Structure 1
Amino acid sequence: MSENINLEVALEEAAAETTPLKRGFLKSLTEDWWALILGAIIISATVLFTINGGEIKLPVYKWSGSDELFNKILSINNILLVLETGVIFLALASIAIILSGGNIKKFVPGFAFIYLLVNVSFIIGGNKGIAYYGLEYVVFALLIGLILGNLVNIPAWLKEAVRSEFYIKTGLVILGTTILSSDLVSAGLPGIIQAIIVVTAVWFFSLWLSRKLKVDDEFGIILASAVSICGVSAAIVAAGAINGDKKKLSYVTTLVLLTAIPMMILQPWLIRVLHIPEIVGGAWLGGTLDTTASVAAAGAIVGPAAVKAGVIAKFSQNVFIGVAAFLIAIWWAYRKPKESAKEGAIQITAEKPSLKVVWERFPKFVLGFIAASLIFSFLLSPATVKSVSATLGSLRTVWFGMAFICIGMEAKFTDLVKLQGGRPAYTFIGAQVFNIFWTLLWSYLLFGGYIFPVPQF
């Protein structure tokens, strides 16, 4: 009997010793780690379920008329799929919130409300007429968030779920599955060379211009990445890599969306007026417009060859998201000054951090992004990658959609107008003008038959 009592006491003491450790470890996991973990769970579950013969059904949002809207999008079956998807996402997100010490009672209703708004933006963006002009759900999600954030006082239960960086980083881990080495190879040498020359030159020009206009480097890096690589996605990755200010990310996101619409209209018009060859024009669109959808929409106005050349050029640039995130994170960790207290004030020192400090500052979600890219490029069969790509793309879009709603909520129009006296906007516009002319030059040289034979599409 006494042996049993002693055993029970020993077990209780062991539990008392280990529980704080476990809880402390879980609470020590940062947002980056939770994004990596959730992204890995979603990717792994999707792959395993699919290769074992399962079929993952997701909601559909594309429609062209009132009949399809009510009989397809708002049908009972599709609404049930929307609810099922939302419940799964809520369950996954709740794990991270609970184990990291968040308020789950406030988070659940807040998450549900944001998820509802995301689906509204998906339905609006899914209209065939709207999609024809390249207007994606991103525009409407951001607008909905901006309206709420600027006209309504966000209640506490909703604020708990406004976690734009968490949603963004989870989506970016899944985005890694689409960045394949095979895409870079299939893009061909002209597309690869154009991507390297354009991304590098435009990025450094933009950062140089931001410094000339006295825009801080944190802002400058987000701006440079947005202009040079692929707009909103690149801005998000860059902001995550340096733990950038949410207001600055919101500002850049707004600038990207505001400039994308006139560019989609004016560039195809200029291609026709200036008699730019169709393939050259397509490569120009792919190197300057921010998303594959906008490139395809603008290219369709020019011609089918322009669409193919534009998508190839855009794919080549998209591959550089992961490379840029990794290099920016390393550079920023070494460059970022260290703050230390001295006589009640903050003293900035230029002390070079150790590898340990670099590791602590390095955004862990980037590791998930790179791992996903490598696994899908080299370890999984092309058939498997193809079978899960659409599903993972849809799941990623949900995370991104929620992030854009939250970015809008966090952005204040007054802050956007006052932020650094409008200099970031001048930087963005100046860098975009340079990008337009620089990319056109190299599109002519690489796709116009001056260096390589004209590609045949």
Structure 2
Amino acid sequence: MSSSKTFSISEDWVVVLLGLGIVFLALSGVIVPKPSFSWSNTTELTEKVFAIKNLSAIGSQFVLVFVTAIAGATLLGKNVKSLLVVLPVVYVLTLFALLAAGNAVVKDYNLEAVIFSLGIGLLISNFFRLPQWFKNALSTELYVKIGLVLLGTTIIFGDILRAGSLGLIQALVVVLSVWYFAFWVCKKLKIDKEMTMMLSSAVSICGVSAAIATSGAIKGDAKKLSYVISLVLITAVPMMIFMPYIAEWLGLSQEVTGAWLGGSIDTTGAVVASGSLVGDKALEISTIVKFSQNVLLGIAAFAISIYWTYAKSVDGETKQEKPTLKIIWDRFPKFVIGFVFASLLFSFFVSSESNAMVKDSLKSLQGLWFALAFTSIGLETNFKELFGQENKKPLYAFLIAQTFNVIVTLLIALVLFS
């Protein structure tokens, strides 16, 4: 990997290149057909889903995903050889999820493919021991972010400006109140400073990305970071599944529900999945609200760096690295640029005729990337590793802070988006 360091590019920029590459490929006429996974009985399954034309469309999507993933691994200097084995396995598992979600009875219950993807992955990872090289080849964040860049093609920029301003207000209030509450809870439970910083950022800002950014800003312990990420991923699962039903039970509108989901669920992929369970408007608002929080990540990392630079660590030594404005740019989630660019492109420059030609293909590919991401999340999440930890205090702190987050975000969403 050291030989590839001469050409270094971050994952977020790779996502922008690959995501927009797929978009421009479609606009230039290379349109991958949308396969159908809808069926209600074995006859339809055989005649529609397993028809030669549909299998050809599934194969075409696989080729595009495979080539894109290989390009991403190459640009990031990752092991391509492992990917050649792992991605086909993840793709086949994801196809089972898509088939399950395509059943007419399942559709009546509004269960999306990502739930089945997650379930299949969790089932395998918790009952079978996967080799480390297999887990290392899983690129969850890459898949989620490519899907999010493609999601930009379906969201009109005017709506982003309108909902984004409200989302930014919500994000500021939620991030500040939840961060300080989480920090206070950790302090009361006597959790060490490194874990406190990572946990507070994860629960209040944007989950995994915030934990990683905070860990980088304070040069945190990798094991503590892994623990926080596991907490984020596992708590996101029940929230993703049950919050849409709680919102329906409370009689919330799609706008309020979307703002609630986007502001309280910690992983971007889980927000997208949960929003899609409710409806298109909820998906749009939840994504925009989550992006508003993502935008604050660079600023938060900068503030945390300042605090950590001048504060004493547990052993009494001060941190040496001085924060600069460059940290804001380094921590800024670049895939948001790809999302906004795609949205601008389809809002103002792509004709309605061209949009009609590529819309179904890009929407299908977006859903596929999300499904692949959730299969990967399932495969890399092990409940035993998390709950086998001797020290349960961070778990208690996270759950208390997350409960506070859910309540505060709901109240703010009701005020701003009703």
Out of 323, 327, 349, the position equivalent to 2:296 is 327
Correspondence for 2:89: 113
Out of 123, 131, 137, the position equivalent to 2:113 is 137
CA separation of 1:375/1:74 partners in 2, compared to 1, >3 Å: closer, same or farther? same
Q: Which moved more, 1:258-267 or 1:145-154?
A: 258-267
- State whether residues 168 and 403 of structure 1, in contact with CA within 8 Å, keep that contact through their aligned partners in structure 2: yes
Q: Which moved more, 1:147-156 or 1:234-243?
A: 234-243
Distance 2:68 2:281 in 1: 35
Tell me whether 1:167 sits opposite 2:143 in the alignment: yes
Residue 28 of structure 2 aligns to a residue whose secondary structure is: helix
CA separation of 1:327/1:379 partners in 2, compared to 1, >3 Å: closer, same or farther? farther
Distance 1:242 1:131 in 2: 40
Instruction: Show structure 1 runs of 5+ residues with no match.
Output: 1-21, 226-233, 272-279, 299-306, 340-344, 447-457
Out of 347, 350, 353, the position equivalent to 2:323 is 353
Correspondence for 2:369: 399
The sequence identity of aligned pairs, in percent, is 27
Tell me whether 1:123 sits opposite 2:93 in the alignment: no
Measured after TM superposition, the shift of residue 435 of structure 1 is: 2.9
Distance 1:312 1:76 in 2: 35
Correspondence for 1:318: 287
- State whether residues 198 and 439 of structure 1, in contact with CA within 8 Å, keep that contact through their aligned partners in structure 2: yes
Distance 1:400 1:240 in 2: 21
Out of 205, 209, 231, the position equivalent to 2:177 is 205
Out of 146, 149, 156, the position equivalent to 2:125 is 149
Output one character per residue of 1:145-189: Cα deviation in whole Å (capped at 9) or x when no partner. Answer: 22222222213552342122222233333233334223347xxx7
Measured after TM superposition, the shift of residue 87 of structure 1 is: 2.0
Tell me whether 1:409 sits opposite 2:379 in the alignment: yes
- State whether residues 107 and 160 of structure 1, in contact with CA within 8 Å, keep that contact through their aligned partners in structure 2: no
Correspondence for 2:354: 384
Out of 232, 239, 242, the position equivalent to 1:252 is 232
When the two structures are superposed, what TM-score results if normalisation uses the length of structure 2?
A: 0.76
Correspondence for 1:429: 403
The letter of the residue matching 2:404 is G
Distance 1:346 1:48 in 2: 59
CA separation of 1:433/1:371 partners in 2, compared to 1, >3 Å: closer, same or farther? same
Correspondence for 1:224: 204
Measured after TM superposition, the shift of residue 65 of structure 1 is: 3.2
Out of 33, 46, 54, the position equivalent to 1:78 is 54
RMSD: 3.7
The letter of the residue matching 2:345 is I
Out of 342, 355, 362, the position equivalent to 1:372 is 342
Distance 2:156 2:226 in 1: 29
- State whether residues 207 and 232 of structure 2, in contact with CA within 8 Å, keep that contact through their aligned partners in structure 1: yes
- State whether residues 150 and 342 of structure 2, in contact with CA within 8 Å, keep that contact through their aligned partners in structure 1: yes
CA separation of 1:155/1:297 partners in 2, compared to 1, >3 Å: closer, same or farther? closer
Tell me whether 1:93 sits opposite 2:46 in the alignment: no
The letter of the residue matching 2:408 is F
- State whether residues 121 and 379 of structure 2, in contact with CA within 8 Å, keep that contact through their aligned partners in structure 1: yes
Measured after TM superposition, the shift of residue 85 of structure 1 is: 1.5
- Pairs aligned (count): 384
Distance 1:34 1:270 in 2: 41
The letter of the residue matching 2:115 is V
Q: Which moved more, 1:102-111 or 1:116-125?
A: 102-111
Distance 2:226 2:207 in 1: 11
The letter of the residue matching 2:22 is I
Residue 377 of structure 1 aligns to a residue whose secondary structure is: helix
Output one character per residue of 1:401-425: Cα deviation in whole Å (capped at 9) or x when no partner. Answer: 2222222222221344346233212
Residue 16 of structure 2 aligns to a residue whose secondary structure is: helix
The letter of the residue matching 2:9 is L
CA separation of 1:361/1:258 partners in 2, compared to 1, >3 Å: closer, same or farther? closer
CA separation of 1:359/1:58 partners in 2, compared to 1, >3 Å: closer, same or farther? same
Output one character per residue of 1:262-318: Cα deviation in whole Å (capped at 9) or x when no partner. Answer: 4444443444xxxxxxxx6555434434668866866xxxxxxxx7xxx54653443
Counterparts of residues 179-194 of structure 1 (less than 5 Å): 179-184=155-160
Out of 7, 19, 26, the position equivalent to 1:46 is 26
Distance 1:384 1:241 in 2: 39
CA separation of 1:263/1:415 partners in 2, compared to 1, >3 Å: closer, same or farther? same
